[in-house]
Amino acid sequence: MKVPRFSTKAESHTYRSWGMSIIGMTASPEAFLAREAEMCYAIMAHVTDYDVWHVTESPVTVEMVIQTLNKNTEIAQEAIRSLVRNIQPERACNCDSALSTALITDPKVIPAETLEKLRPLVGKYYK
Ligand SMILES: [Zn+2]
Question: What pLDDT shows up at residue 3?
Answer: 58
User: Are the beta carbons of 90 and 6 closer than 8 angstroms?
Assistant: no
Marked catalytic residue, from 49, 95, 99, 126: 49
Q: Which of 9-18, 49-58, 112-121 is least confident?
A: 49-58
Question: What pLDDT shows up at residue 4?
Answer: 63
User: Are the beta carbons of 74 and 37 closer than 8 angstroms?
Assistant: no
> Mind listing the pLDDT tens digit for each residue in 65-113?
889 989 999 999 999 999 999 998 898 999 999 999 999 999 999 999 9
Question: What pLDDT shows up at residue 1?
Answer: 45
pLDDT at residue 60 greater than cutoff 80: no
pLDDT at residue 117 greater than cutoff 50: yes
Question: What pLDDT shows up at residue 119?
Answer: 93
Q: Domain coordinates of the chain in residue numbers?
A: 9-87, 98-127
Active site residue 51: yes
In the 3-class helix/strand/coil scheme, how is the chain assigned residue by residue?
A: CCCCCCCCHHHHHHHHHCCCCCCCCCCHHHHHHHHHCCCCCCCCCCCCCCCCCCCCCCCCCHHHHHHHHHHHHHHHHHHHHHHHHHCCCCCCCCHHHCCCCCCCCCHHHCCHHHHHHHHHHHCCCCC
> Mind listing the pLDDT tens digit for each residue in 15-55?
999 998 888 777 778 889 999 999 999 888 888 777 778 77
Q: Determine the distance separating the centroid of ligand 1 and the alpha carbon of 39, expressed in angstroms.
A: 6
Active site residue 96: no
